[in-house]
C-alpha cells in the first residue's frame, strides 16, 4: 500500500534523515586502508546507541536473505554492490567501498548510501561512482508533482546508458516511512510519462546502482552479499526524498 505523508509528518522525518546522513559522513571519513569492515559496523552501531535510534538491518530477514542480517550496515567491496554483509575484511589500497545505512529515529525511517574509493583511486572506479551520483541527482530532479514514477526511472537510466552501463532492475528504490521498505518500487529503468502519478506526501528512497560491465548478479555464500557475475566492480548512491509542492526535499542530504 502506498502511503502519503502530511507536511507535519515529513518534518518529523527530518531527524532520521539527518542522523543517517551524519553516520554515512562519519563512515566515509573512517574508511581507509587498514580499516576492518567490522570496525565500520561497530562505529555505526555505537552512533545508533548514542542517538537512541534503532537499526533497520540487524533483525531484517526478507525472503531473499538467508538469515537475519545481524549487522547495522551494508558494506559492499569491489565486485559486491548491494547487501554486503560486514565481515572480517581489512580494506586495501584501491578498494571500492559502497555503504548502505538505514535507521529509525522516533519511529521514522531514513535510508541512504554512498560509494568511496579507499586510498589510490582508479579513474574507472571514479567514473562509475560519479555516474551513480549523477543518476541519483537526475532521478531526484524528476521527483516532482505532475510527473510519473517512470520519469524518475527514465532519468536514472538515461544517465547510465550515456555512460555505457547496463541496468539491473531486480533491486531499486522504494517507499520509506515507518518501515524501511514499502511501496512503491522505484526501478532504475522505466518509460517516461508512465506509472504512478507523483504527488506531494510521497516519501521514497531513490537508489541507482551500476556495475562496470554487466547487469547480472549472484548471491555470495554468506546468503546476502550481491556480486557481479563477471567480477566487475559496482557502485551505489541513494537518498531518501519527500515530494513536496515545491519539488523534491532530500531528507538525507549530507
pLDDT for residue 65: 86
Distance CA 167, CA 70 (A): 29
Helices (H) and strands (E) in the chain, counts: 4, 14
Residue 181 labelled as part of a binding site: yes
Q: Are 53 and 39 in contact (CB under 8 A)?
A: no
Instruction: Judge residue 237's burial from the number of C-beta atoms within 10 Å of its C-beta, 0-12 exposed, 13-18 middle, 19 or more buried.
Output: buried
pLDDT for residue 222: 96
Residue 83 labelled as part of a binding site: yes
Distances (CA, A) of 170 to 41, 144, 177: 26, 24, 22
Residue 170 labelled as part of a binding site: no
Residue 249 backbone zone (phi > 0: left; psi -120 to 50: alpha; other: beta)? beta
Q: Give the start-to-end residue ranges of the domains of the chain.
A: 7-250
Low-confidence ranges of the chain (pLDDT < 50): none
Q: Which of 106, 103, 108, 101 is nearest to 6 (CA)?
A: 108
Q: Which three cell numbers stand for residue 184?
A: 512503491
Residue 100 labelled as part of a binding site: yes
Q: Are 173 and 190 in contact (CB under 8 A)?
A: no
Per-residue pLDDT of 102-159, as tens digits, reads: 999 999 999 999 999 999 999 999 999 999 999 999 999 999 999 999 999 999 999 9
Residue 207 labelled as part of a binding site: yes
∠ CA 8-11-12, nearest 5°, is 90
State whether CATH 3.40.50.800 applies to domain 7-250.
Answer: no
Q: Which three cell numbers stand for residue 128?
A: 562509475
Report the predicted TM-score, pTM, of the whole model to 2 decimal places.
0.97
pLDDT for residue 64: 85
Distance CA 59, CA 110 (A): 17
Identify the DSSP state of 53.
-
Amino acid at each position: 500500500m502506498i502511503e502519503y505523508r502530511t507536511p507535519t509528518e515529513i518534518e518529523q522525518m527530518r531527524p532520521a534523515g539527518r542522523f543517517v546522513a551524519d553516520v554515512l559522513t562519519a563512515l566515509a571519513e573512517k574508511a581507509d586502508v587498514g580499516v576492518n569492515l567490522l570496525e565500520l559496523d561497530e562505529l555505526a552501531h555505537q552512533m545508533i546507541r548514542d542517538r537512541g535510534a534503532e537499526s533497520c538491518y540487524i533483525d531484517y530477514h526478507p525472503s531473499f536473505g538467508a538469515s537475519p542480517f545481524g549487522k547495522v550496515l551494508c558494506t559492499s567491496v569491489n565486485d559486491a554492490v548491494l547487501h554486503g554483509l560486514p565481515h572480517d575484511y581489512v580494506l586495501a589500497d584501491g578498494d571500492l567501498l559502497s555503504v548502505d545505512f538505514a535507521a529509525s529515529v522516533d519511529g521514522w525511517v531514513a535510508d541512504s548510501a554512498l560509494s568511496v574509493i579507499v586510498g589510490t583511486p582508479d579513474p574507472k572506479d571514479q567514473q562509475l561512482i560519479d555516474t551513480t551520483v549523477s543518476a541519483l541527482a537526475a532521478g531526484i530532479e524528476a521527483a516532482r508533482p505532475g510527473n510519473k514514477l517512470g520519469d524518475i526511472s527514465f532519468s536514472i537510466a538515461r544517465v547510465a546508458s550515456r555512460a555505457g552501463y547496463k541496468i539491473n532492475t531486480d533491486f531499486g528504490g522504494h517507499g520509506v516511512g515507518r518501515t524501511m521498505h514499502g511501496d512503491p518500487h522505484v526501478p532504475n529503468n522505466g518509460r517516461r510519462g508512465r506509472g504512478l502519478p507523483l504527488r506531494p506526501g510521497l516519501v521514497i528512497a531513490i537508489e541507482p546502482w551500476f556495475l562496470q560491465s554487466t547487469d547480472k548478479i549472484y548471491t555470495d555464500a554468506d546468503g546476502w552479499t550481491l556480486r557481479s557475475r563477471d567480477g566487475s566492480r559496482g557502485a551505489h548512491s541513494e537518498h531518501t526524498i519527500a515530494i513536496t509542492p515545491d519539488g523534491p526535499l532530500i531528507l538525507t542530504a549530507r
